[in-house]
Amino acid sequence: MNTIIHKRKHPEDGRITFPHLQCWNPETETATIAAQVSGKRVSCRISYSVLKSRFPEITGTPMETVEKYRKEVEEAARKLIENKTYENDGSIKIRSRDLS
């Protein structure tokens, strides 16, 4: 009998992924998407004012805007995570200058 062994990735492999988890805080007008970094969850926050300043042609709800520009938001978050630009609480704050 042949044995097949599958090597599991170690949670500290350095990969950054973005599960489809997001939320909106109406009090702070901030959207949050989740990143998975080496097996740990990181909140990546972006204010609606940053979205409006960077993407002035936006229409719809804030979360529809995040969904429409998710690729750009994720790329900015990825760069900040790779550069270890964390806030004191361990989250990532995406500013207008971070969006390409």
- 58 in Cβ contact with 70 (< 8 Å): no
Per-residue pLDDT of the chain (100 residues; tens, 9 = 90+): 555 554 555 555 678 999 999 999 999 999 999 999 988 999 999 999 999 999 888 778 889 999 999 999 999 999 999 999 999 999 999 999 999 7
Residues linked to residue 94 through DSSP beta bridges, in sequence order: 46
pTM here? 0.83
Token readout for 65 is: 């805007």
Residue with tokens 């806030």: 87
**pLDDT for position 60:** 84
